[in-house]
Structure 1
Amino acid sequence: MTSLEIFSRHALAAGAGLRLVSVTRPGFAGSPRRLGRTVSDTAADVIEVLERLGIDRVVTAGYSGGGPHALGLAALVPDRVSHVATFACPAPYDRTPDWFTGMANNGGGLRSAAEGRSARERYQRTAEFDPGSFTEADWEALSGSWAGIGEDAQAATAAGSASGEIDDDLAFVVPWGVDLDQITSRVSVFHAASDCLIPAHHAERLAALLPAADVRKLEASGHVAVLQQLPHWIHAVARWMPTVT
């Protein structure tokens, strides 16, 4: 996230009486790239950060490509995670064509990642964003409270590199290295019914793997606009959190 975006999320958490800890995945925003990283590897990085900060109990949330890593953390240390929320999160890849159904650009980077690293890097050389993959609600969010999302995406490729994005896609189409059935915390799955980047059937796929999950499909939303639910979730979490971490 941009510095402004990080500040606003910290302010949001602080206003609810919570402490926000943000961890940048390898390959993004100056964090060194780690070839071959898995969802489990990145979740383990978060655990190391929590250890160093002396934090024992957390809630965790992940947006889009951050969603699998939030779930990974909850699966690796279920005794330390009280609640997890995902927003526009992809489900684990089941190696069927249906997994890509409804994705903009015929699955784009994720479909090419399923063919291997070379194919994903080759795709990146000519990849272009399709403005039609965002809804009207998305564009409104990007021009308002979530402008930092667009700035962050531009910064990620400003130097001609999209290593973080590439490595994320590669990690999502191989086994995540975690067992989602190990999650014992509450799980909230937020997904826009009209999301064209990670279609809403991914929320249903997650629900099948997380029977106790609370799935909230949102009409008149989108891949970015779904984040409008984050402040509500944070304040709801703060009401029942036993302690501030």
Structure 2
Amino acid sequence: MGPSHDLTLAGDRVLRVHDSGRGDTLTVVWLHGTPQTGALLAPVLQAADARGIRVVSYGRPGYGGSTTVPGRTVGSAAEDVRVLADALGLGRFAVVGASGGGSHALAAAAQLPDRVTAAVALAGVAPYTEEFDWFAGMADPTSLRAAREGRDARMTHALTHEFDPESFVALDWAALEGAWGPLGADAGEAGGAGHDGEVDDDVAYASGWGFELADVRTQVLLAQGGADRVVPASHAQHLFTHLPDAELWLRPRDGHISVLNALPTALDWLLARAR
């Protein structure tokens, strides 16, 4: 199988899969943020290659060539991960997710306990709850507020919504001008391809996830920027409180993108747990 290829699932649904195809210390399934195509990003590959880690990823439904699935939940990602792992002959593997990808990484950890060795969530979204003000600290919560009203409301919002540059702090912009430039380019490509993936992601974050945080029995590393204005630190605190076996790395000055600079250290953390 090549570095990028399509898997055909039940009902002729297509899942586009990307595979670095190299590395023998550990296999990591990378879960992308919102919006992204699912393609493997250069800074992820560089950190993985330096450690002999194989990286596999895929476009969630509605992104990067994968068939849209309206009404999908965060939890339904676990079955897609299982299918791609089976297709690639992966036995046990770790999961790493950035932003909303962190939430989907937790889904795989919860529902594939015999496969997932450990999980990392960088700036992960917490399940919607009334236990704390879920929107507090977001520079622009309008998309997720619309998602709370359902798919039609979120799609209508998408037709006129524009990104608020206040969502990123100075360190985020610096990261996007530097090592994480490919993430910005990929987000632009994903956003330009249509709204389905982003809309379905947001509705999934803001609805029932289909599993409980208490179901995640594997070790989880949470890395969170204290200055994050997209997914505020309160989300990481909620995850930390409710996950059975979690570690929290708070990086006080980091925002939503610059926290990704913790990825190389997070991969070292995964390698230590795989030994």
Pairwise same-fold verdict (TM > 0.5): yes
Quick one: distance in 1 between partners of 2:107 and 2:39? 27
Quick one: distance in 2 between partners of 1:2 and 1:118? 22
Task: Decide which of 199, 204, 211 is 2:232's aligned counterpart.
Answer: 199
Report what 2:20 is aligned to. Answer: none
Amino acid at match of 1:81: V
Aligned runs of 1:41-56 on 2, under 5 Å? 41-56=76-91
Amino acid at match of 2:160: T
Kept after mapping to 2: 8 A contact 1:113/1:120: yes
Task: Decide which of 191, 194, 198 is 1:157's aligned counterpart.
Answer: 191
Report what 2:211 is aligned to. Answer: 178
Amino acid at match of 1:84: A
Kept after mapping to 1: 8 A contact 2:37/2:63: no
Quick one: distance in 2 between partners of 1:183 and 1:117? 27
Report what 1:103 is aligned to. Answer: 138
Q: Which runs of 5 or more structure 2 residues have no equivalent in the other structure?
A: 1-35
Scaled by the length of structure 2, the TM-score of the pair is 0.82
Amino acid at match of 1:63: A
Amino acid at match of 2:104: H
Report what 2:63 is aligned to. Answer: 28
Report what 2:222 is aligned to. Answer: 189
Task: Decide which of 178, 191, 200 is 1:144's aligned counterpart.
Answer: 178
- Residue 10 of structure 1 deviates from its aligned partner by 2.9
Amino acid at match of 1:147: G
**Residue-by-residue CA offset, 1:163-213 (whole Å, 9 max, x unaligned):** 111100001111111232122221111111111111110011101211421
Report what 2:25 is aligned to. Answer: none
With over 3 angstroms needed to count, the CA separation of the structure-2 counterparts of 1:93 and 1:33, relative to structure 1, is same
Secondary structure of the corresponding residue to residue 39 of structure 1: coil
Kept after mapping to 2: 8 A contact 1:17/1:238: no
Report what 2:249 is aligned to. Answer: 216
The number of equivalent residue pairs is 240
**Residue-by-residue CA offset, 1:76-103 (whole Å, 9 max, x unaligned):** 0112211101011110001467111111
Kept after mapping to 1: 8 A contact 2:148/2:206: yes
Greater share of strand: 2
Aligned residues: percent identity? Answer: 40
Task: Decide which of 121, 129, 133 is 1:86's aligned counterpart.
Answer: 121
Secondary structure of the corresponding residue to residue 110 of structure 1: helix
Amino acid at match of 1:231: P
